[in-house]
A and B are shown apart, each in its own frame.
Chain A
């Protein structure tokens, strides 16, 4: 269940990605707060953050045609209009199961909407 949005939705292109730390946690384990933080921290261009009305540490809900998931915002060196986050259980909720006959679901370049939400009650991104 997603928290109620506090801004109007905006269109983005979401590119899930691999990261070194995400790979490390394959061996360390995926059930600690560190892994949770890695796979829920979404990089956004500072201009897009301003447009969404969010600052570092704020939360957004990202939605596709198949589902939605919540992410913590972090300003980063990504192009305007693009969201970047490491693959993980939250991105699974956004991924379509349609492989288009190739055997491989579209794993990058998803059309999504994003909008600000209140911080979830149990946030893994607390320092």
Chain B
């Protein structure tokens, strides 16, 4: 079951390698043994691959998930509330029956759920639905991440600091508070007076006020390519692309680390080497903490 995601465009190997086509011990006929449902506000390319396409009304994902949670538990829902989602009682009853009849259900949710109105509340509701489905059958849920190694960044920050993102080290230890320490908020408020961007292009993806602030402060960018961010940065250090000309570790969306072996040589240093050399240079500088405490670095956490 995909919800608010379009793997046919964004994760083109997902169907063939993981969810639909693979033949296995318990599903020897591959696609024929599986049912795919897609929930989205429009019929994307992924709808062609789906057995059931449920077109939810924009901004009504949370309502639909809540109705499904109630129906799973056998509660009756007024048809007027179901109609708000743009779907019918029969459609949702059929979906719930199929979910309960499944031997192993998996829900993959994308930006259409997590970055639209409701945001993390939508994701939390869907994770709760998946958890509650385990009273009937095995069910899991997993986010469909964006480009590149986003999962890897979250995993590393989690085991280094205990938090996945939105972390401040300005007291010498990690503190977590999305909305306060998260990148967009810090930039839009103009809190930071320098920025260090590694392997990301906020200049082409973030809100304009955040981009304007990046352009106004000393921004340092590490990227193999010339990007919108590298163009606004005061310093752009070209690095070797990981997995192609530099070794490293990429994390699959299910948090499995995969070693990357470079196929080509590059005249440019890897991101890791540049960061290490910057760290070495910083370590030679005098401490800035008032009490003379050395600033905490990630490896000491």
Please indicate whether A and B come from the same complex rather than being unrelated chains.
yes
Q: Which residues of A contact B (CB under 8 A)?
A: 13, 15, 17-20, 23, 26-27, 29-31, 66-67, 77-79, 82, 84, 87-89, 92-93, 95-109
- Counting CB contacts under 8 A, is B172 at the interface? no
A-side contacts of B120, CB under 8 Å: 102, 104
Question: In the complex the two chains form, what is the Cα distance from A23 to B166 in whole Å?
Answer: 25
B259 within 8 Å of A by Cβ? no
Q: Given A95-B208, A104-B119, A106-B117, 8 more contacts at CB 8 Å?
A: A18-B111, A26-B201, A96-B207, A97-B188, A97-B208, A97-B210, A99-B185, A104-B115
Task: Determine which of B9, B119, B203, B225 lies in contact with A102 in the assembled complex, contact meaning CB atoms within 8 Å.
Answer: B119
CB of A15 to closest CB in B, whole Å: 7
Contact B178 A20 (CB under 8 A): no
Set of chain B residues within 8 Å of A98, measured between Cβ atoms? 188
Q: Are B182 and A107 in contact (CB under 8 A)?
A: no
Q: Does B227 contact A (CB under 8 A)?
A: yes
Tell me, rounded to whole Å, the shortest Cβ–Cβ distance linking B170 to chain A: 17
Q: A54 vs B226: C-alpha distance in the bound complex, in angstroms?
A: 35
Q: Are A23 and B165 in contact (CB under 8 A)?
A: no
Contacts of A66 in B (CB 8 A): 207-209
Q: How many of B's residues come within 8 Å of A, CB to CB?
A: 46
B294 near A: Cβ within 8 Å?
Answer: no
Q: Are A103 and B185 in contact (CB under 8 A)?
A: yes
Known contacts A20-B10, A109-B59, A92 near B207 by CB under 8 Å: yes
- Report yes or no: B207 in contact with A104, Cβ–Cβ below 8 A: no
Using known A-B contacts A18-B10, A102-B120, determine if residue A107 contacts B188 with beta carbons closer than 8 Å.
no
| B184 close to chain A: CB less than 8 A | yes
Expressed in whole angstroms, the minimum distance between the Cβ of B186 and any Cβ of chain A is 10
CB pair B201–A107 under 8 Å, yes or no, is no
Q: Does B103 contact A (CB under 8 A)?
A: no
- Given known contacts A23-B147, A30-B227, A97-B210, is B116 in contact with A109 (CB within 8 Å)? yes
User: CA–CA, A88 to B41, complex, Å?
Assistant: 21
- Collect the chain A residues with CB atoms within 8 Å of residue B184's CB: 97, 99, 103-105
Which residues of A have CB within 8 Å of B165?
103
Could you tell me the distance in whole angstroms from the C-beta of A99 to the nearest C-beta in chain B? 6
**Given A100-B179, A104-B182, A26 contacting B147 (CB threshold 8 A):** yes
Q: Does B279 contact A (CB under 8 A)?
A: no
